[in-house]
Structure 1
Amino acid sequence: MGTIADIHNYYEELVMQQIRALELDRTRDSEYLADLCCMVLNQLPAHYIRHNVDMVYFTSPEQRAEMEEKVFHAVNQSVSWLDSDHHDRRKHEDA
């Protein structure tokens, strides 16, 4: 029997795939990545599943492509903001 621990937001996996594709996990520190994940996931709808394989049966290829496109844009927008001169994480850390 499954438990609540088996449930996860599928967008989390898509976000991590995009982070790895951009090699941000190799070029940014863990604090940056945590901020990035929070920013990105807050821009996306939740899509809870128990097993990743469920996505094969319950989403069309078009829906999957749309989800990936949303993640792509949310990651790029968040990286641009985090890397901008207008945002300096050190200011927040010193406060």
Structure 2
Amino acid sequence: MSLRDAIDNFYEPLVAEAIDETKGDGDSPDYLTDVMCVALNRLPAKYYRHSIDMMFYLADGELDTMKKQALTAVREAREFVKSHQRE
């Protein structure tokens, strides 16, 4: 296993979940990938090694806050990507 496989960013699944919640019928995989990249770049990195450790160390309410931040970042990223699409 490489070092890159040993860590994850806690925001990645939260952003993926927010994308699923806001998914439209006409959203292409390329568009959604761009949205995910832009949204993740707007959020702080929150790396962890073991997901159980991450959940244990989150303060009360922090997960809800992070989910709201992810949803906001996805909504903003959707607008950004739409307005910067190549013709």
With normalisation by structure 2, the TM-score equals 0.82
Residue of structure 2 equivalent to 1:90: 86
SS in 1 for 2:61: helix
SS in 1 for 2:18: helix
SS in 2 for 1:90: coil
Deviations 1:34-92 (A, max 9, x none): 11011101100000012222222010231111111111111111112333xxx25233x
Instruction: From the CA coordinates, give the structure whose radius of gyration is larger.
Output: 1
Cα distance in 1, alignment partners of residues 41 and 20 from structure 2: 19
Across the two proteins, how many residue pairs are aligned to each other? 86
Residue of structure 1 equivalent to 2:70: 71
Q: Could you say what the CA RMSD is over the residues aligned between the two structures, in angstroms? A: 1.9
**2:30 aligned partner, one-letter code:** E
**1:73 aligned partner, one-letter code:** T
Cα distance in 2, alignment partners of residues 22 and 54 from structure 1: 29
Residue of structure 2 equivalent to 1:54: 53
Residue of structure 2 equivalent to 1:11: 11
Q: Which runs of 4+ in 1 moved over 3 A?
A: none
The unaligned stretches of length 5 or more in structure 1 are none
Offset, 1:3:
4.8
**Percent of matched pairs sharing the same residue:** 29
Residue of structure 2 equivalent to 1:36: 35
Residue of structure 2 equivalent to 1:23: 23
1:45 and 1:88, CA in 2 relative to 1: closer, same or farther beyond 3 A? closer
Cα distance in 1, alignment partners of residues 69 and 14 from structure 2: 10
